[in-house]
Amino acid sequence: MFVTQKARERDISYTMAATKKYFTLDILIFYYAEVHSLKAYLQKIIKEESYKQAYDSDDAQSDFFLQAPDSVHYRELLNCSFVCLSKEPTTEHPQFSAIEQYARMKDVIQKAQERLFSASRSKPDNIITLGYKRVFEDGKANTVPSGITNCVVNTIITALQAPEWEKLLER
């Protein structure tokens, strides 16, 4: 679902029903050209055919992210978290394929951090690398498998390791 000023009144009832953060959505719409619920954005960027192939179903995408036994916290994550895209016009969104899960969220985060650190000569400027640093001993990388270590708590990483994000990764 693409949220605009006109669509906001219609869509606000189900995307924001579980929260009172109406002002947040208004601010996001003001600063960003596109504002999507997390669920709507994922449905937009993941190829529908890949759902059908990976999960052997004709309507996999329609019920894929939300299912009857899902917790309130998981539903809020999908419906009340937003993906914002810059004011620069985007002609086409990237497309990804649904595949079976081969890693846990902790592993995905660690791999992303490793790539960010390896691509940067200095400390990477990214929210998932805040509170992390390279580990060196005598000019060589330490025996820490990733070569990076946590030196300050990063609450974003803590939040990404919550059961709701793990469930989303599984699906």
* Number of folded domains that form the chain: 2
Global confidence as pTM: 0.70
Tokens for 5, please give them.
């000023």
Domain finish residue from 74, 99, 124 = 99
Together in a domain, 91 and 27? yes
Q: Find the range with the poorest average confidence among 5-19, 41-55, 80-94.
A: 5-19
Structural domain boundaries enclosing 113: 105-160
Do residues 116 and 95 both lie within one domain? no
Sign of CA dihedral 105, 79, 39, 63: positive
Q: Which residues contact 111 (CB under 8 A, 6 or more apart)?
A: 103
Other Cβ atoms within 10 Å of 93 Cβ, number: 12
Please report which confidence band the pLDDT of residue 127 belongs to, taking 50, 70 and 90 as the band edges.
very high
Write down which residue in 76, 99, 122 finishes a domain: 99
Whether residues 91 and 127 fall in one domain: no
Whether 171 maps to a domain, the answer reads: no
Is the same domain home to 136 and 155?
Answer: yes
Q: Is the domain of 20 the same as that of 72?
A: yes
Helices (H), 48-129: 48-55, 60-64, 72-80, 105-118
* Whether residue 6 is found in the same domain as residue 87: yes
Residues in the chain, how many?
171
- Higher-pLDDT residue of 165 and 49 is 165
User: Is residue 46 domain-shared with residue 109, that is, in the same domain?
Assistant: no
Same domain for 94 and 110, yes or no, is no
Apex CA 37: angle with CA 163 and CA 91, to 5°? Answer: 125
* Whether residue 11 has pLDDT greater than 60: no
* Residue at a domain's end among 50, 82, 99: 99
Beta carbons of 2 and 39 less than 8 angstroms apart: no
Give domain status of residue 79, yes or no: yes
Asked if residues 25 and 83 have their Cβ atoms less than 8 Å apart, the reply is no
Task: Specify the higher pLDDT residue, 88 or 104.
Answer: 104
Q: Are 93 and 113 members of one domain? A: no
pLDDT value of residue 57: 59
| Tokens 């019920």 sit on residue | 63
- Least-confidence region, from 20-24, 57-61, 129-133, 134-138: 57-61
Q: Is residue 165 part of a domain?
A: no
Phi, psi of 52 (to 5 degrees): -60, -40
Question: Would 6 be classed as within a structural domain?
Answer: yes
Average pLDDT, the chain: 77
Burial class of residue 53, CB neighbours in 10 A (0-12, 13-18, 19+): middle
Predicted confidence band at 74 (pLDDT cuts at 50, 70, 90)?
Answer: very high
In single-letter form, the type of residue at position 112 comes to A
- Amino acid 16 reads M
Residue 140 confidence class, pLDDT cut points 50, 70, 90: low
